[in-house]
Every structure is written in structure tokens, then in C-alpha cells.
């Protein structure tokens, strides 16, 4: 028989990914399967943290579960291609630019612009976007997921804060990650804080600090996703398509077309179309990417954050309505452009770190006590470890 459990709360072994499981999940090659495992991994780590810290306050991994679930929509490229193809069929700026190019091509005896090729260019551009999102999702989980697993493994079962143990744990952080060290040190202190106001503020400070670290690390991935070389992709496909048309014409009918290509007249004529396609694509991509799945709906990051249901007049949960913690005050003074308000939280340009953080700190503060954030992201239990399949033994 097993001895009765001593000490503080412990999550069930196998109910959350260990540091080794995190590394295995991050090493998965298939971006779609990997994202599903990351999303579930964040949920299970959030749950394990909730066992140690209580679930009155969401932790960063709780929010990361939903952000990762949303990233999956972009990684799987759901509903975006159709929106783009619809634009190609419709009129508007793209249609206008396209008919001008078609007029020129007709004069040169070339076939009209093939919409199939343009749609394919849209798909190529989308692959660049979803790869950047998938890479960012993998990068953050490998690094931050590891620290959540290490925290749970270190402090589970503890009934009080042991300063020597905490110091040894904090010494395990790499030198170049001061924000993570600071955040997890704060989680450790919040574990044994009895005052619910102080505890909520410590949790928010830790959540915001992990958020700042993560968004700083993600900067390159976000820029890559939003500034994927869309123009080049469209310009190349139009060029190839028109050159193929010219090469297919017999001599001397092909002379005019080849001359127009050589002198740059064709490039000049297709430039407005390339610009219109790139602009339209970016608008649709941003619209689709700039959403955050939350339990029971999605938030549009380009709009001001709506108050949580039932908090229309107060905006923030009871323990976070006023901020007393001096370190949290300092952090919010730096990151929150709209103190104690949700007006002006909209991130018009998601590629700007300060606009993302301005949105995120209010998202965390207004939703930190929403118990639904701990819901299963896929509505069912999933189990660990999600390890890559071992390689088949080599046949000697």
C-alpha cells in the first residue's frame, strides 16, 4: 500500500508534460500535430500550476493555451484561402488592376491573367505566414513550457516557501533570461500568499513578465508572419505566367510580347496589380491572424478589448480593480498605455511590440479570474506523454 500523501498539493504524475515531454513535443516535425500537442501541453501545465497556486487566478500558461489554439487555425490555414479566392473573383481594387493587365496582354496577343496561378501565389504566401506562426509557437513552448514543467517538478508537495530551495531553483535560469527568472520567482512567492489581493497582483505581475519575455522573443516571428514576402511571391508568379505565354507564341507573333517584357513595360503594367494583391492578402491575413480564441468566442486584437461579461462598469475582477503592488505598478506604468481602462487597447499594428503588450496586459488583468480559461481547449481529456515515435531500428 502507498504511504498517505504528505505535504502540499501535487498534480497526478502523467497529467502534465515533464521537461522532457516538453522537449519531445517541441521536436515534433509535423506542424499541425505539434501545435495540437503544444496547446494541450499548455493546458495541462496550466492545470498543474493551478493545483499548486489555486485556480482563482489564471497563470500565463492558461492564457497560452488559447493563444496556441488560435495559432493552430493559421497553421492549418483554415478559411483563409477561400476569402482570398473570393476577392480574385470579385471586382474592387484587385479586379480593376487585373482588367488593366488583361487589356495589355490582349494587345500583345497573350492569354489573360490566369486566376488559378494567382490563387496559387496566395497559397504560397500563406504558407510563409503559417510557417512563421508555427515556428513561433514551437519556439516559445520549447523555452517557456520547459520552465513551467520545471516549476511544477520543483515545488509540488511543498507546504511553505523554502528560501534556500528557491534560490537554488532561481540559479537554474540562464543569465540571458532575467524576465523569466523574475516571473517564476514571483509565482513561487504567490504559492504561499494568503491575502487574495496580494496574491492576485503577484500572479498578474508574473503573467505580465512572462508575457513581456515571450512577446520580445516572438518579435522576429511576428514580423516574418506579417511581412512575409508577399509582393515577391505575386510578382514572380505573374512574371513566370506572362513569360510562359510569350514563349508559347510562334515567331514573329512573339516579338511584341518579348519586347514589352524586355523594356519593362509589362512590369510597369503589373505593378499596380501586385500592390493590390499584396495589400488585399495582407488585409485578409491580418484579419484572420489578429484574433484570439477564448472560451466561448474570439477577441479581435484590432478592436478595443471588450469588458468581461458582468464587469461592464468595473472592467477588472475584484482583486485587481486597484493596484497596490509597487513592482506591478512600475511594470504597468511601462506597458499599459491606457491605465485602468480598456479604451485604446486595440492593437492597430500587431508587429509593434508596445501595441501588443498594451493589449496583453489588459487582457490578462481583465480575464485573470475567468474560471473558463481552465476549460479543456478541445473539450476532452488528452494524455501524456505526446512523444515523437522512436525511429525504426536499422536493419543490419
- Tell me the DSSP string of 138-149: HHHIIIIIHHHH
Q: What's the mean per-residue pLDDT of the chain? A: 89
Q: How far apart are the C-alpha atoms of 234 and 241, rounded to whole Å?
A: 11
Q: How far apart are the C-alpha atoms of 149 and 22, rounded to whole Å?
A: 8
Q: Which of 23-32, 87-96, 103-112, 294-303 has the highest mean pLDDT?
A: 23-32
Position 388 confidence tier, pLDDT thresholds 50, 70, 90: very low
Q: How far apart are the C-alpha atoms of 139 and 100, rounded to whole Å?
A: 44
Task: For residue 331, report the phi and psi dihedrals to the nearest 5 degrees.
Answer: -65, -45
Determine if the peptide bond prior to 286 is cis (ω within 30°).
no
Task: For residue 277, report the phi and psi dihedrals to the nearest 5 degrees.
Answer: -65, -45
Report whether pLDDT(3) > 50.
Answer: no
Position 381 confidence tier, pLDDT thresholds 50, 70, 90: low
- Per-residue pLDDT, 6: 64
Decide which of 384 and 352 is more confident: 352
Report whether pLDDT(121) > 90.
Answer: no
| Helix-then-strand count for the chain, H and E | 15, 2
Task: For residue 94, report the phi and psi dihedrals to the nearest 5 degrees.
Answer: -65, -45
Decide which of 76 and 58 is more confident: 58
- Per-residue pLDDT, 317: 97
Q: What is the pTM of this model?
A: 0.84
Please give the biggest Cα pair distance in the chain. 93
Q: How far apart are the C-alpha atoms of 137 and 134, rounded to whole Å?
A: 5
Q: How far apart are the C-alpha atoms of 111 and 107, rounded to whole Å?
A: 10
Return the H-helix or E-strand segment holding 85. helix 80-89
**Cβ-defined contacts of 374-382 (< 8 Å, 24+):** 374/46, 374/47, 374/50, 374/55, 374/58, 374/62, 375/295, 376/43, 377/39, 377/40, 377/43, 377/65, 377/66, 377/68, 377/69, 378/36, 378/39, 378/40, 378/69, 382/40, 382/44
- Per-residue pLDDT, 65: 96
- Sorted by where each begins, the domain ranges of the chain are 19-227+279-374
Are 388 and 51 in contact by the 8 Å Cβ rule? The answer is no
53, 25, 52: which is closest to 37 by C-alpha?
25
165, 163, 161: which is closest to 192 by C-alpha?
161
Task: For residue 288, report the phi and psi dihedrals to the nearest 5 degrees.
Answer: -80, -35
Position 103 confidence tier, pLDDT thresholds 50, 70, 90: very high
Report whether pLDDT(387) > 50.
Answer: no
Amino acid at each position: 500500500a502507498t504511504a498517505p500523501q504528505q505535504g502540499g498539493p501535487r498534480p497526478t504524475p502523467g497529467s502534465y508534460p515533464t521537461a522532457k515531454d516538453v522537449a519531445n513535443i517541441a521536436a515534433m516535425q509535423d506542424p499541425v500535430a505539434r501545435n495540437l500537442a503544444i496547446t494541450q501541453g499548455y493546458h495541462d501545465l496550466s492545470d498543474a500550476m493551478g493545483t499548486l497556486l489555486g485556480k482563482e487566478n489564471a497563470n500565463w500558461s492558461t492564457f497560452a493555451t488559447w493563444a496556441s489554439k488560435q495559432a493552430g487555425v493559421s497553421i492549418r490555414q483554415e478559411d483563409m484561402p477561400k476569402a482570398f479566392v473570393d476577392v480574385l473573383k470579385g471586382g474592387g481594387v484587385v479586379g480593376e488592376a487585373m482588367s488593366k493587365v488583361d487589356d495589355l496582354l490582349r494587345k500583345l496577343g497573350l492569354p489573360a491573367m490566369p486566376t488559378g496561378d494567382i490563387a496559387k501565389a496566395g497559397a504560397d504566401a500563406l504558407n510563409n505566414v503559417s510557417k512563421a506562426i508555427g515556428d513561433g509557437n514551437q519556439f516559445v513552448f520549447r523555452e517557456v513550457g520547459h520552465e513551467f514543467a520545471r516549476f511544477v517538478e520543483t515545488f509540488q508537495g511543498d507546504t511553505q516557501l523554502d528560501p534556500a530551495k528557491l534560490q537554488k531553483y532561481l540559479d537554474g535560469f540562464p543569465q540571458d533570461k532575467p524576465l523569466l527568472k523574475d516571473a517564476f520567482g514571483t509565482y513561487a512567492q504567490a504559492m504561499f500568499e494568503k491575502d487574495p489581493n496580494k496574491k492576485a497582483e503577484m500572479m498578474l505581475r508574473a503573467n505580465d513578465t512572462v508575457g513581456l519575455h515571450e512577446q520580445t522573443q516572438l518579435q522576429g516571428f511576428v514580423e516574418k508572419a506579417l511581412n512575409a514576402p508577399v509582393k515577391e511571391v505575386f510578382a514572380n508568379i505573374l512574371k513566370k505566367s506572362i513569360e510562359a505565354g510569350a514563349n508559347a507564341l510562334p515567331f514573329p507573333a512573339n516579338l511584341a510580347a518579348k519586347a514589352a517584357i524586355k523594356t519593362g513595360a509589362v512590369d510597369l503594367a503589373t505593378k499596380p496589380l501586385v500592390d493590390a494583391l499584396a495589400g488585399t492578402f495582407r488585409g485578409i491575413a491580418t484579419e484572420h491572424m489578429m484574433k484570439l480564441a477564448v472560451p466561448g468566442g474570439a477577441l479581435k486584437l484590432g478592436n478595443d478589448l471588450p469588458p468581461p461579461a458582468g464587469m461592464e462598469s468595473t472592467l477588472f475582477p475584484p482583486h485587481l480593480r486597484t493596484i497596490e503592488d509597487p513592482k506591478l505598478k512600475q511594470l504597468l506604468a511601462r506597458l499599459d498605455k491606457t491605465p485602468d481602462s480598456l479604451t485604446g487597447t486595440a492593437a492597430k499594428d500587431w508587429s509593434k511590440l508596445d501595441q501588443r503588450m498594451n493589449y496583453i496586459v489588459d487582457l490578462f488583468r481583465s480575464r485573470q479570474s475567468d474560471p473558463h480559461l481552465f476549460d479543456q481547449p478541445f473539450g476532452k481529456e488528452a494524455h501524456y506523454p505526446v512523444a515523437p515515435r522512436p525511429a525504426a531500428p536499422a536493419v543490419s
